[in-house]
Chain A
Amino acid sequence: MAVTVHIPTPLRPYTGGSASVDVEGATVADALAALTTAHPELQKHLRDSKGRLRSFVNVYLGDEDIRFLDKEATPVSSGAELTIVPSIAGGAA
């Protein structure tokens, strides 16, 4: 399945400046794996050392947060659009 992944601005230096990347995959996990295979520097910013998506990294399939679908196992159809939407968080110690 051909899927388009939209990349947030601060991560575009790792996709050669591209705002979106077309990848192949049957699930969200497949598509993200194809993305980080093509652009390996994205991996450490999207996932923690255990390979989990970082807590501030949200992934939308169309308008739906994948957390409310089947998370990364969510199937994607051809032409689907995935959008990486960082939230911001932080605070003193």
Chain B
Amino acid sequence: MIRFEQGELERLWAHAREGYPYEVVGVLAGTAGHVTRVEPLVNERSDVKNRYRVNGLTLLKAERRLEADGFQILGYYHSHPDHPAAYSDYDRDHALPNLSYVITAVHEGEVVDTLSWRLLEDRSAMRPEQLAVTEEAP
């Protein structure tokens, strides 16, 4: 299960709406499966509406910054504009195990669904992961 602090999930949704009709991407950081920081990244694939990419060095820098602030990298999120929140074969081909891949579906500019997926060890598929929302710490 992956849990989101409510405000962070709302930040993810806001990012997905702002980026529509293009895909947006970012890092999910926190501790022990609890996302307490959503970190938007720049999608390098602005040429098409159904792809995202962040190069390794840019990602590494963002992750090191988060780790220096005491966060663990729990996974990544991206949006699927006018498409379901199911993973695509392309998503599966580019995934690594032991991370959560959260996909949020944005239809006509509105968030309609958010699902989390984890790659199976044999890379044959991604399994759905329960997603829960927690109250923000006071």
Contacts and interface: CB of A to CB of B under 8 A. Distances in A.
Interface in B53-99: 53-57, 59-60, 73, 76, 78, 80-81, 83, 87-91, 93-99
Contacts of A13: 97-98
Interface string B32-52: 000000000000010010111
Given A44-B123, A85-B56, A90 B91 contact: yes
Contact of A92 (B50, B76, B94, B97): B50
Interface string B98-136: 110100000000000000000001110000000000000
Interface in A59-87: 85-87
Contacts of B48: 91
| Residues of A contacting B: mostly | mixed
B98 A10 contact: yes
B59 A86 contact: yes
B56 A86 contact: yes
A86 B83 contact: no
B25 interface: yes
A11 interface: yes
A45 B90 CA distance: 15
Given A45-B97, A85-B60, A87-B56, A92 B83 contact: yes
Nearest to A44: B123
Contacts of B88: 90-93
Contacts of B121: 41
Contacts of A58: 55-56
Contacts of A8: 96
Contact of B94 (A11, A44, A85, A88): A88
B56 A90 contact: no
A87 B76 CA distance: 11
A88 B57 contact: no
Given A8-B96, A45-B97, A91-B52, 6 more contacts: A56-B56, A85-B56, A85-B59, A88-B53, A90-B94, A90-B95
The 5 A-B pairs with the shortest beta carbon distances in the complex, nearest first, are A85-B56, A91-B51, A92-B83, A90-B91, A58-B56
